[in-house]
Copies of this chain bind each other. A is one copy, B any other.
């Protein structure tokens, strides 16, 4: 098994669009810089949606301009449709993320389009990309792939059919999202295996939520069946936290800790990553952040997958317990 995974940080998009406050542009840029300094090489920096719907994302073009200055960073933005994709390409993103719901009810509620209409939209976006910016990657994320709070159970065959349709429409990668935190490890293994059997190497990222505490277990399950890209957000920011204490997204810090401690390299420096929380907090004062590793520290004798040891003795010793 390869011993490397890619972590795609979605906090600046998924996180910031889920909180009420709007992080000032300068703070967004400083946070993204701090995340990049920690070794993150793919960041979803914002979304192209009308500012009247998501005022938190009104400055997305400016944020992208900054992110493009960071060496080696794949700058990603979420778009809901062709118009958004055109704006994202004009702003210079490297990759476009496009959520397509496997639940018809969720699709209609979220973007007022059927799944079929969304597949058509992807086809149009791919054609425009081919004409305007052939280097830009297009990743379709199958949302509500593991269940939907509106529709209830989502048939696995619906997910497979949608993944195949999206591949035929030209999406470069098709990931699976546990939009509402209903996934379990057995289901994650089964569904990713079936999707891979259907679309092969176009199988993309696992986007898991921590709604019922299963975020890391579901990521482990996805890793076990060959998934090598994982979405997560610093401090677990975002991801529909509808209950106190119920963080949404998988926490990047804990996810990186899990893989590195298993001997699976992420390319990320955990100490620098944990220090980046200060940049997030500076831009969103008072917003609760989640994550156990930042509280506990790396623990005695923690060793990165590549053999490095923590630079900071304090962090290494923080795990002292009776």
Seen from chain A, the residues whose Cβ lies within 8 Å of a Cβ on chain B are 147-149, 152-153, 179-182, 184-187, 210-214, 216-217, 219-221, 224, 240, 242-247, 251, 254, 257-258, 261-264, 291-293, 295-297, 299-301, 318-322
Residue of chain B at shortest CB distance from A223: B185
Please pick, from B149, B216, B219, B263, the residue contacting A320 in the complex, using a CB distance under 8 A: B149
Task: Report yes or no: A240 in contact with B300, Cβ–Cβ below 8 A.
Answer: no
Q: How many copies of this kind of chain does the complex include?
A: 2
13 contacts between A and B (CB under 8 A): A149-B320, A180-B321, A181-B299, A182-B319, A185-B220, A185-B262, A211-B292, A213-B216, A213-B291, A216-B217, A243-B318, A244-B295, A247-B292
Please pick, from B184, B213, B257, B299, the residue contacting A292 in the complex, using a CB distance under 8 A: B213
Please pick, from B185, B187, B264, B319, the residue contacting A149 in the complex, using a CB distance under 8 A: B319
* Measured CA separation A291–B261 after assembly (Å): 23
Q: A243-B296, A292-B245 are in contact. Are A321 and B220 (CB under 8 A)?
A: no
Residues in B neighbouring A297, C-beta threshold 8 A: 243
Residue of chain B at shortest CB distance from A219: B217
Please pick, from B147, B292, B301, the residue contacting A301 in the complex, using a CB distance under 8 A: B147
Task: Report yes or no: A212 in contact with B320, Cβ–Cβ below 8 A.
Answer: no
Residues in B neighbouring A247, C-beta threshold 8 A: 292
Please pick, from B180, B184, B257, the residue contacting A214 in the complex, using a CB distance under 8 A: B257
CB A125 to nearest CB in B, in angstroms, measures 24
Residues in B neighbouring A264, C-beta threshold 8 A: 186
CB A143 to nearest CB in B, in angstroms, measures 12
Q: A152-B301, A180-B321, A185-B262 are in contact. Are A254 and B213 (CB under 8 A)?
A: yes
Task: Report yes or no: A147 in contact with B186, Cβ–Cβ below 8 A.
Answer: no
CB A271 to nearest CB in B, in angstroms, measures 14
Q: A217-B217, A242-B321, A321-B242 are in contact. Are A212 and B182 (CB under 8 A)?
A: no
Residues in B neighbouring A187, C-beta threshold 8 A: 261-262
Central interface residue in A182, A261, A296, by most chain B CB within 10 Å: A296
Residues in B neighbouring A242, C-beta threshold 8 A: 296, 319-322
* Measured CA separation A153–B153 after assembly (Å): 45
* Measured CA separation A299–B182 after assembly (Å): 7
Task: Report yes or no: A214 in contact with B254, Cβ–Cβ below 8 A.
Answer: yes
Task: Report yes or no: A181 in contact with B319, Cβ–Cβ below 8 A.
Answer: yes
Q: Can you add 8 more A-B contacts, CB < 8 Å, to A181-B319, A186-B263, A211-B292? A: A179-B321, A181-B321, A182-B301, A212-B258, A213-B254, A213-B292, A242-B320, A243-B297
CB A274 to nearest CB in B, in angstroms, measures 12
Task: Report yes or no: B147 in contact with A211, Cβ–Cβ below 8 A.
Answer: no
Task: Report yes or no: B147 in contact with A300, Cβ–Cβ below 8 A.
Answer: yes
Please pick, from B149, B152, B262, B299, the residue contacting A212 in the complex, using a CB distance under 8 A: B299
Residue of chain B at shortest CB distance from A255: B213
CB A204 to nearest CB in B, in angstroms, measures 21
